[in-house]
Chains A and B, each alone.
Chain A
């Protein structure tokens, strides 16, 4: 009898019920899509963010290990000095090897840096040498163009970019340009702090990075090497690599690759984890250490976290909105049926049994709408994945129980006001047509 009454009511108020189902469906589809994207977004956002900026720093082994020891020995010439050089600098002519590791094609860009101290007027400043538009011919036959330009995509540059074809053309940080009254096209004299060598330089552009570089000069590497008296040497290399998001294996390997089993090691080595790329660069260039750039990695994590938090909040808001809409629809539905409900109560139905009847109806309707909404949500998630991240989002199965809970919560929440009115409905008020 109970089910006959449920079925009858469902059939009779088809229009209203379709509206309720639609509302639930809409809410659920949005929530499913957002949650689906959220659970999958970790990978996607990581991939996105990894494409920007450098994420590996290549430094000489000595800069981290030997530096202090030889600093004490001082410049007493001979073998020790040679060793200090080798320990504190990387040879420029070895850098092509970075493009020859197993994951060579994941290396998007890289650039070496060497800083020379120079005097301009009375100011002593950093002149940083780097690659800008460097052409490399690899032993493999591959031709590579690389440099720092695309790794610093957020820099604002006014004027012509620095180019190896103009050996005396430099770009000046905005703060410094202001101080020295330099503009694109102007020339100035710079004297090496150590040797006193004087060069006349041309300002090709003024840049602003928003960082400490705004007080520095950037120049072709060869110029910096000449002023610093370090021909053929660089101090560090920034590498921008596409990497696979870290997982447990990557974290285990990052501690010590030797602790991996043979099979784990193979998997790790053949996956583009930041740690395996770092390992491979160290392998091919024995004198260097490769460090992941933590600042970038951390901010990626924060952005991800914030994005996920935002999605959760949006999902909750969406669900609240549908609960609100449902509550209006359910209330209208109950108002329309107040005589029927009053009659049931007059016949001896308890508040509980009437509430149960109405709630069952609503849940059936909500689940029908919810299932449609879930399916629509899968499609929507896929669409968002394609439109925003350029890959398809796989909605994880955890979303299903969450969806069921959402439907329950939204329906109960939405039905609450009408259930209250059922409790307060008095048969005498509706049964005698006053």
Chain B
């Protein structure tokens, strides 16, 4: 096996430029499979920008990104959409559930766009995040923590190669935060690669590795 195939993610000299602003500047980062990485940094330091590039929602202005050996720069928008569907599980700070679908159906939407819906499997995913009894509830009937757990169930339903969570606990109280962290622990235990953006040190502390961004540069990596 070549060097690049061993790492799930390889970022080389990546920059993202918005007009006069360099949101990311020559970022270098490699993530081996199964690693739990936390990205920290002050607001505006480029964390979300980096996550978007890893998550195939955006492309780098310069540099190379290899996800599971694939060079993202060479892919079309449609192919990037395919990667998102197949290899990536996304979790957002604002949850983003479809308001008129139940918890179960929201998980099934991800199945629908991936391949085929399987209600049993979707229900199992909800069970993993402790929400089997909330399957028929609409998002507005769920608490914030519960909504975020539905999002996690949706992110893991298609067995992604990497789970990307951008401030997943930013809108949650402590009790719900620890519930979510427990689930991430379980996923990590089961072998998932996880990247979590946070500016809460106690969240970052759960990770194996923490990098800190400032003004679009990596200033610390432990």
Q: Which among A56-64, A327-335, A348-356, A410-418 touches the partner chain?
A: A348-356
The segment from B33-41, B84-92, B128-136, B202-210 that touches chain A is: B84-92
Given A8-B100, A432-B48; A346-B84 close (CB under 8 Å)? yes
For B38-62 the 0/1 string (1 means CB < 8 A from A) is 0000000000100010010110000
Of all chain B residues, which has the CB nearest A433?
A: B94
Quick one: which of A1, A349, A431 contacts B117, CB cutoff 8 A?
A1
Asked if A2 contacts B166 (CB within 8 A), the reply is no
Closest to A354 in B: B113
Tell me, in angstroms, the Cα distance from A426 to B52 when the chains sit together.
11
- A1/B108 in contact, CB under 8 A: yes
Q: Which of B86-109 contact A (CB under 8 A)?
A: 86, 90, 92-94, 96, 98-101, 105, 108-109
Are A344 and B96 interface neighbours, CB within 8 A? no
B220 at the interface (CB under 8 A from A): no
Known: A1-B117, A353-B113, A427-B57. A11 touches B100 (CB 8 A): yes
Question: Which of B99, B100, B108, B113 sits near A344, CB closer than 8 Å?
Answer: B113
For B48, what are the chain A residues with a Cβ–Cβ distance below 8 Å?
432
Within 8 Å of chain B (Cβ to Cβ): is A339? yes
With contacts defined as CB atoms under 8 Å apart, how many contacts are there between chain A and chain B in the complex? 70
Q: In the complex the two chains form, is A4's CB within 8 Å of B105's CB?
A: yes
Q: Size class of B's contact patch? A: 20 to 34
Residue of A2, A11, A428 most packed against chain B (CB within 10 A): A428
Partner of B110, one of A340, A347, A350: A347
**Number of residues from A at the complex interface, CB < 8 A:** 25
Tell me the bound Cα distance from A348 to B84 in angstroms. 5
Which of chain B's residues 129-182 have a Cβ closer than 8 Å to chain A?
A: 154, 166
CB pair A5 B101 closer than 8 Å: yes
On whether the beta carbons of A347 and B84 are closer than 8 Å, the reply is: yes
Contacts of A2 in B (CB 8 A): 112
Contact status A345-B101, CB under 8 Å: no
Query: A9 an interface residue at 8 Å Cβ cutoff?
Result: yes
Chain A residue nearest to B77 in the complex (CB) = A351
Task: Determine if A314 is an interface residue (Cβ-Cβ < 8 Å).
Answer: no
B100 touches A350 (CB 8 A): no
Contact A428 B99 (CB under 8 A): no
Asked if B99 contacts A12 (CB within 8 A), the reply is: yes
Complex interface: chain A residues within 8 A of B78 (CB): 350
Measured CB to CB, the closest approach of chain B to A430, in angstroms, equals 9
Interface residues of B (CB under 8 A from A): 48, 52, 55, 57-58, 78, 81-82, 84-86, 90, 92-94, 96, 98-101, 105, 108-114, 117, 154, 166
Query: Known contacts A1-B105, A12-B99; can you find 10 more A-B pairs with CB under 8 A?
Result: A4-B105, A5-B109, A5-B112, A8-B101, A11-B100, A12-B100, A344-B109, A344-B113, A426-B57, A427-B57
List 20 A-B pairs, Cβ < 8 Å.
A1-B108, A1-B109, A1-B112, A4-B101, A4-B105, A8-B100, A8-B101, A8-B105, A12-B99, A12-B100, A346-B84, A347-B109, A347-B110, A347-B113, A348-B81, A426-B57, A431-B92, A432-B48, A432-B166, A433-B94
Which residues of A are at the interface with B, using a C-beta cutoff of 8 A? 1-2, 4-5, 8-9, 11-12, 339-340, 343-350, 353, 426-428, 431-433
A-B pairs, 8 with minimum CB distance? A348-B85, A8-B100, A12-B100, A1-B112, A348-B113, A349-B113, A348-B84, A343-B96
